Amino acid sequence: MEIIKKILEPEYDRKPIYRTEESGNDFSFACDECGKTILLDSKRQIDNSWNGKTDSLANRDFEFLKAYYKIGLNNKSADGGFPVFDRLTCSKCDSKYISYCGVQEFSNSAFMVTLNGLFKTESANLAKTVRNSVIDILNLLGDYEKQLDYGKTVGDYIAIQEMVCMWFDDNYHPDSENFIKGFSESELIKLKEFNDYYDSIFNKIPDQDIRTLHIDPNWEKLVRLAQQTGNELKTQHNNV
Ligand SMILES: [Zn+2]
């Protein structure tokens, strides 16, 4: 197991991240590579406190982690609880992290969880990042409600401009290596068809008001195409 970057090291007197009966306080942190919020599920740590690890980790990893964090035969974590290791995966870029928690039962069936250690063990999968962000923009282009909400946030004019730029400038880079790796051949063809249609209409669409945009036949067709293309990407699994 490789430690690419240490994020949190054990320290005595660290406050618990979770206590039973004080709800809503699962610990989260921003992915070191893409900023996406990653959640540490406290209940998952509690449920696995007798095993010392969740099933996301192999025994070999477990042995490494116990040695690295100097968990002795008394099986105590730095906070005095039971040590539990978990692997957390960023849903956007596929970076991987290892968490080291301690779980203590402070009264009958009431637990507290302390995060003692956290490190990054695998860097982002750039092809997967590209794929996920293309799916995100297709979700927006295929969803009238999301477009209205986006317009409310930044104003309709900016929202319409951004929906164009996010496709052409930020996402559709069919010659880049990670783009090609991120999709199957048939997906690349679908994306090109979508791109070519969008390219043929983007300078003819109403650009001031989202409700006006929504009754434009060219845009209606684009929304349908975005839905179809997005659905195909979500149902096809390639080896990214
Ligand atoms: Zn990430």
Rounded distance, CA 7 to CA 98, Å?
10
49 C-alpha vs ligand 1 centroid, how far in Å?
A: 27
Q: What percent of the chain has pLDDT over 90?
A: 78
**Confidence grade of residue 2 (pLDDT, cut at 50, 70, 90):** confident
Do residues 228 and 204 touch, judged by C-beta distance below 8 A?
no
How many A from CA of 120 to the centre of ligand 1? 11
- Provide the whole-model pTM: 0.71
User: Would you state the pLDDT for residue 24?
Assistant: 59
129 CA from centroid of ligand 1 (Å): 8
Domain extents for the chain? 5-122, 126-235
The pLDDT tens digits of the residues spanning 149-173 come to 999 999 999 999 999 999 999 899 9
- Distance from residue 31's CA to the centre of ligand 1 (Å): 5
- C-alpha 202/C-alpha 215 separation (Å) is 15
Question: What's the confidence (pLDDT) of residue 22?
Answer: 76
- Measured N-to-C along each axis, helices 144-154 and 156-165 cross at an angle, to the nearest 10 degrees, of 120
